[in-house]
Amino acid sequence: MRRKRPPLSIWGKAGAVILGVNLLMALFGPLIAPVTPGEILAVPPFSPPGEGGFLGTDYIGRDLFSRMLYGASFTVTLSFSATLVGFAGGVALGFIGAEAGVHVDTVIFRIVDVLISFPPILFALLVIGSLGSSIPVLVCTVGVIHAPRVARIARAVALDIGVQDFVEAARARGETIWSILAREIWPNSLLPLSTEFGLRMAYSVLLLSALSFLGLGIQPPLADWGAMVRENMSSLFYGGWAVMLPAAAIATFVIGINLFVDSFLAQSDRDVSKDMLG
């Protein structure tokens, strides 16, 4: 009989709550925001909470509460989309390389090695500087940065599963490579790959926030949390409230992801580190 999975630890539950709150903010934040993100209130810049809305105002007098809610929508949605793009591409490349034979594997992973050799920030700066800072470019750029790294993990996992008896039996029955990947390898790789997805998601949040901080992310009057940190840096001279809120939101979101992933790993009887390292 299959052993019952133990419940999440207290830290895992805390991570799940943080992720749930951020997801709700991303989905419903723009609907409950008091004003649009670009609207300037009739109060001085950097007004404290209460005098200039629920959380005060930013460097030109816009409502911080509304911009935090809209920023959550962009930060969470773009991070998830970029991670999904990179994860899908990386898993496809890794699985095909593991099962399609040594020649295909060599070609795929020499390309992967070239992509990994580029520092992520430098690669993003080159692409966004050439193509412009639009949402599709941001998502695809971060996805391309993730894909080769995910491909290495997926290949290691697929090679480990591919030597198991049930996979060898499927090959002996004459099943196609696509059938083996879809019916044998993919279902048995969900644990390590879901863990990798969580780690990539945290990295997406940090990378997209860094690009926005450099002025290459979401453009005004829209904003994500990274852009809000850059815009309100001068608030440090007035107490730092306007810059600390988005910075704390980024840190809390990433911590929530890591807490949930760590607790999820602790529930498993498998040594995921061996799967990930090959």
Here the tokens at position 98 are 């593991």
Apex 16 CA angle, 15 and 21, nearest 5: 100
The whole-number pLDDT of residue 2 equals: 45
The candidate with the shortest Cα–Cα distance to 143, out of 201, 98, 192, 193, is 201
Whole-angstrom distance, CA of residue 62 vs CA of residue 134: 23
Longest CA pairwise span in the chain (Å): 74
Q: Give CB contacts under 8 A, 24+ apart, made by 156-160.
A: 156/94, 156/275, 156/276, 156/277, 156/278, 157/94, 157/189, 157/192, 157/193, 157/275, 157/276, 158/94, 158/95, 158/98, 158/99, 158/185, 158/189, 159/98, 159/278, 160/274, 160/275, 160/278
The whole-number pLDDT of residue 13 equals: 85
Whole-angstrom distance, CA of residue 65 vs CA of residue 62: 9
Whole-angstrom distance, CA of residue 158 vs CA of residue 246: 39
Whole-angstrom distance, CA of residue 76 vs CA of residue 230: 18
Task: Indicate the CATH number for domain 10-277.
Answer: 1.10.3720.10
The whole-number pLDDT of residue 271 equals: 41
Bridge partners (DSSP) listed for residue 57: 63
Question: What is the sign, positive or negative, of the torsion defined by CA atoms of 48, 52, 53, 58?
Answer: negative
The whole-number pLDDT of residue 214 equals: 86
Q: Give CB contacts under 8 A, 24+ apart, made by 242-249.
A: 242/46, 242/56, 242/57, 242/58, 242/59, 242/64, 245/55, 245/64, 245/68, 246/68, 246/71, 249/68, 249/71, 249/72, 249/75, 249/225
- 8 conformational bin, left if phi > 0, alpha if psi -120 to 50, beta if neither: beta
Tens of pLDDT along the chain (278 residues)? 344 556 667 888 888 899 999 999 999 988 888 888 888 887 888 887 877 678 888 888 888 898 999 999 999 999 999 999 999 999 999 888 888 878 888 888 888 888 888 888 889 988 988 888 888 999 999 999 999 999 999 988 888 887 778 777 877 887 777 888 878 888 888 888 888 898 899 999 999 999 988 888 888 777 889 888 888 888 777 766 888 889 999 999 999 999 888 887 776 544 433 433 33
The candidate with the shortest Cα–Cα distance to 205, out of 57, 31, 26, 61, is 26
Here the tokens at position 124 are 């993003």
Extents of the domains making up the chain: 10-277
